[in-house]
Amino acid sequence: MGHYSNYTAKVLQEVSKHGLEHRSMFGLTPLMMAAEAGNVALVETLIERGARLDAVDSLGCMPVHFALRRTFKDSSYAREKLGPLFALLCPTSIDLEVDDKRLRLTRAQGEFLLLLLMVARVHDLHAGVKRYHGFQAAHVDESLLSAFPRSVIPEERRRRVYWNGELARAEVSSSYKPARKLWRRERQGHYMPSTVGVRVAGEAGKPDTYVPLDRLLGCDILEEQGAPDAASRAHVTSPS
Other beta carbons less than 10 A from residue 127's beta carbon: 17
If pLDDT is split at 50, 70 and 90, which confidence band does 83 have?
very high
CA separation for the pair 40, 121 (Å, rounded)? 21
pLDDT of residue 237: 40
Residue 224's pLDDT is: 62
**pLDDT-wise least confident of 4-13, 57-66, 89-98:** 4-13
Cβ pair 32, 64 in contact under 8 A? no
Please check the confidence at residue 57 and state whether its pLDDT lies above 60: yes
- What mean pLDDT is predicted for residues 156-167? 92
pLDDT at res. 203: 73
Residue 70 near residue 89 (C-beta atoms within 8 A): no
In this predicted structure, what is the pLDDT of residue 29? Answer: 92
- pLDDT band of residue 202 (cuts 50, 70, 90) is confident
pLDDT at position 166, please?
Answer: 93
With 50 as the cut, is the pLDDT of residue 159 above it? yes
Mean pLDDT estimate for the chain: 84
Count Cβ neighbours within 10 Å for each residue of 177-209 and write b for 16 or more, e otherwise: eebbbbbbbeeeebbbbbebbbbbeeeeeeeee
Q: Is pLDDT larger for residue 160 or for residue 233?
A: 160
Tell whether the model's pLDDT for residue 232 goes beyond 80. no
Q: Residue 129: its pLDDT value, please?
A: 42
pLDDT at 52: 92
| pLDDT at res. 195 | 92
Return the CA Rg of the chain: 17
Alpha helices in 126-204 (DSSP H): 142-145, 160-169
Highest mean pLDDT among 47-51, 200-204, 218-222: 47-51
Q: Per-residue pLDDT for 15 more than 50?
A: yes
Q: Per residue in 181-196, pLDDT tens?
A: 999 998 888 899 999 9
Domains and CATH numbers, the chain: 3-234 (1.25.40.20)
Please check whether residue 184 is in contact with residue 174, taking contact to mean a CB–CB distance below 8 angstroms.
no
